[in-house]
Chain A
Amino acid sequence: QSVLTQPPSASGTPGQRVTISCSGSSSNIGSNYVYWYQQLPGTAPKLLIYRNNQRPSGVPDRFSGSKSGTSASLAISGLRSEDEADYYCAAWDDSLSGHVFGTGTKVTVL
């Protein structure tokens, strides 16, 4: 029951820039912060971006987040093979009074 919509896949060659979109509504992205998680194959999700565009310590500045209205984006610049993973957006939803996640995007490095 994902409330936030992401494209199922995205791809690029090493060094390219890849952008992932996350579409929500006024009750979630439109009025709250957006977060991004990276899930490498066979591992637990890891916080990648918090409060729309902030990077936790240790996250490369190749990763950047932005938000506009009821949508958000994650950009990966200088794509590397180790970036091949599933990426999820997330936000608080005021209507549900709970956390909601995106449908997830699989990034493939060609």
Chain B
Amino acid sequence: QLQLQESGPGLVKPSETLSLTCTVSGGSISSSSYYWGWIRQPPGKGLEWIGSIYYSGSTYYNPSLKSRVTISVDTSKNQFSLKLSSVTAADTAVYYCARAKGYDWFDPWGQGTLVTVSS
């Protein structure tokens, strides 16, 4: 079945850029009707959608993060990536990648990866 796996540094310094990759296995990232998204969860807090991308490269972002976020896709590697610039301690969170049914639900989700912003 479809599986997603996040990867990237677990520690990022303040003001630097957070970079994560999500590798999709068991299915093609180029499937029609599906977007691919990033969601984060600060420790002990709720979920926040970051942004989503279609295999063609079309993106849409959370307005509150839009100025700092870039999501890209590499169909040859069946991966999509997240870059979040100018990070602060408030960006410390578990970052999840997930498949999105259009503008609908997210399923399945990756296991998540904790990124800590600290000097």
- A: which residues have CB within 8 A of B? 1-2, 33, 35, 37, 43-47, 50-51, 56, 88, 90, 92, 96-104
Contact = CB atoms under 8 A, between A and B. Distances in A.
Given A45-B96, A92-B104, A99 B49 contact: yes
Tell me if B's interface is mostly helix, strand, loop or mixed.
strand
Nearest to B101: A50
Given A45-B96, A97-B63, A56 B110 contact: no
B26 interface: no
Interface residues of B, number: 25
A102 B49 CA distance: 11
Nearest to B52: A99
B41 to A, nearest CB: 8
Contacts of B105: 35, 47, 50-51, 90
Contact of A33 (B47, B48, B104, B111): B104
A31 to B, nearest CB: 12
B66 to A, nearest CB: 9
A13 to B, nearest CB: 26
17 contacts: A2-B46, A35-B104, A44-B109, A44-B112, A46-B107, A46-B108, A47-B107, A56-B107, A90-B105, A90-B106, A92-B104, A96-B63, A98-B63, A99-B100, A100-B49, A101-B39, A102-B46
Given A46-B108, A50-B104, A88-B46, 19 more contacts: A1-B48, A35-B106, A37-B47, A37-B106, A43-B111, A44-B96, A44-B109, A44-B112, A47-B105, A50-B101, A50-B105, A88-B47, A90-B106, A92-B104, A99-B37, A99-B49, A99-B100, A101-B47, A103-B46
